[in-house]
Amino acid sequence: MNLYDEISSNKRKSILLVSLFFIVIGALGYAFGLYIGSIFVGVSYGIIISVFVLLVGYYAGDNAILSMSHAVPAEKRKYPFLVNTVEGLAIAAGIPTPKIYVIDDSAINAFATGRDPKHASVTVTTGAIERLGRTELEGVIAHEISHIKNFDIRFMLLVVILVGVIAMLSDIFLRSMFYGRGRRDSKSGGGGGAAVVMAIGLVLAILAPLIAQLIKFAVSRKREFLADASGALLTRHPKGLADALRKIKNDKEPLVEAANKATAHLFIENPLRAFGGKMNNMFSTHPDINERIKRLEGM
């Protein structure tokens, strides 16, 4: 599969991803409808909230992510090499120059976000700027530019939004069940049917966020390998990114303070990898960094 086929594949996966999330959302709405006595109202409630949040997130999600990450615009006079490199690689990739941001953090990391190449941004930590060599930083930026070119940013943005939607709906459902339980029991007399509905709804509400997270983890790790390969193609120097990944791997303080579980998968390498040990690695959205380095050095 060539790069253009991969881009088309990512677009199709985006549609499939949205469909899977709406199936989970529909199941939550159905369970809520059973609980309140109207399946139509329950499903409609879930869909209306989901569509509203999805639209708001789609058009404003990147700004929210940048704000959460405490990213600030990169000034060319302060970061001339960073700005010039992003501009040059964007031209090489055939996309508009993305906005450029910096996070004041000693960890070495970076990410790209936005809904499409015309509305995209690249964010780099000050640790990456200060601690990476020029070819290494160029390799990291090329990786992020490749995410933009390959439409991975849209895919990742949808993941963040929809996981949040399901968590929110699940929380609303659980709260309504627990706070309304006494009133409902007094009306129904606590019959067996009500208890079954309560049990089904409770299980769905608890499992829905877990299912959403599993879908998030299932987002193809091949995306990172593709961005590595595309980035190496842009720079014609795969060793630069390989060396950068090695420095990231050996970073004594890998935690990006502003990162969280909702945004960790956006970064070039998991910024929370210092936590969770083997369990964290098992459910990581990133491929093994040693394998990535090996593939780059083999190019």
Distance, in Å, from the CA atom of 53 to the CA atom of 57, rounded to the nearest integer, reads 6
136, 138, 144, 224: the catalytic one is 144
- Asked if residues 256 and 267 have their Cβ atoms less than 8 Å apart, the reply is yes
Strand order in the sheet with 110-116: 72-73, 99-103, 119-125, 110-116
Partner residues linked to 99 by β-bridges: 121
C-alpha distances (whole Å) from 96 to each of 8, 66, 90, 120 are: 19, 19, 6, 9
Catalytic (active site) residue 138 = no
Name the pairing type of β-strands 110-116 and 72-73: unpaired
CB-based contacts of 30, cutoff 8 Å, min separation 6: 39, 42, 43
Token duo for residue 126: 């000050």
Distance, in Å, from the CA atom of 56 to the CA atom of 52, rounded to the nearest integer, reads 6
End-to-end Cα spacing for the chain:
17
| Catalytic residue annotation | 144
